[in-house]
């Protein structure tokens, strides 16, 4: 069936980077856009950016521009989101979502703490 499986929880120190993966199965990976969304504790869902899995084009939220990089490996049907210069406010659950916002990964908890 169609699903997105994300990598496991991460604990990082301030100033570090984190890279979260999202493996797609059950559909043609290169036909779609993969979104990345985060949810900080007690906050609403927040869009970070997307990648066109076919041509690799990206679009980022202005809030994260310069700190976030979306990439993909078409041979592995996997998308990646890398966030750099981490600070405590980046502690959140990070989700990938695809197929016109129909399918979501299970979420990856990223904790930033010294």
Partner 1 sequence: DIQMTQSPSSLSASVGDRVTITCQASQDISNYLNWYQQKPGKAPKLLIYDASNLETGVPSRFSGSGSGTDFTFTISSLQPEDIATYYCLQFDYVPPTFGQGTRLEIK
Over the window 22 to 61, marking each residue x when it contacts partner 1 by CB under 8 A and - when it does not, the resulting string is -------------x--------xxxx-----------x-x
Closest by Cα among 19, 31, 14, 11 to 99:
31
- Spell out the residues 6+ positions from residue 62 whose beta carbon is closer than 8 angstroms to its own: none
Per CB under 8 A, 13 contacts partner 1: no
Site pattern 59..88 for partner 1 (x: CB under 8 A): x-xx--------------------------
Strand partners, 18: 83
């Amino acid at each position: 069936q169609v699903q997105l499986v994300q990598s496991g929880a991460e604990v990082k120190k301030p100033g570090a980077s984190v890279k979260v993966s999202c493996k797609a199965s059950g559909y043609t990976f290169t036909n779609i856009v993969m979104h990345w969304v985060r949810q900080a504790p007690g906050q609403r869902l927040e869009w970070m950016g997307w990648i066109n899995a076919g041509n690799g084009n990206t679009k980022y939220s202005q809030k994260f521009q310069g700190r976030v990089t979306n990439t993909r490996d078409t041979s592995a049907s996997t998308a990646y989101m890398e966030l750099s210069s981490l600070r405590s406010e980046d502690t959140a659950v990070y989700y990938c979502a695809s197929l016109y916002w129909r399918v979501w990964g299970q979420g990856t908890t990223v904790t930033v703490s010294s």
